[in-house]
Amino acid sequence: MNAAGTGIAPRNSTPRNSTPRNSTPRNSTPHSSTPHATRNANGPRAMHPAGRSSHSDTTRPSTLPSITSAATPCQPTVPILLHTNDLPGPLSLSRLSAFGTVNQLDEFSGYWSDHANTLYGRAAIVASIAPFGTVACTYTAAWVWLGGDPFPNTIDVISTSHFRSSTVGRRIRVFKRLTLPEQILKIGSLTITTPARTACDLVMAPESDPDPSTINALVCQLMSAYEFQPDDCLQIVKEHRHHKYAARAKEFFTAIQREIDEITTERYS
Work out the number of other CB atoms within 10 angstroms of the CB of residue 54.
16
Does residue 1 surpass a pLDDT of 80? no
Does residue 85 surpass a pLDDT of 70? yes
**Tell me, what's the pLDDT at 208?**
65
**Tell me, what's the pLDDT at 209?**
65
**Tell me, what's the pLDDT at 41?**
46
Q: What is the pLDDT of residues 90-138, one digit of tens each?
A: 788 889 999 988 999 988 899 999 999 999 999 999 999 999 999 999 9
**Tell me, what's the pLDDT at 18?**
46
Q: What is the pLDDT of residues 164-184, one digit of tens each?
A: 888 888 999 999 888 899 999
Q: How far apart are CA 197 and CA 237, in angstroms?
A: 9
Q: How far apart are CA 248 and CA 216, in angstroms?
A: 13
Q: Please name every residue paired with 191 in a beta bridge, in sequence order, or none if there are none.
A: 186
Higher pLDDT, 76 or 209: 209
What percent of the chain has pLDDT above 90? 45
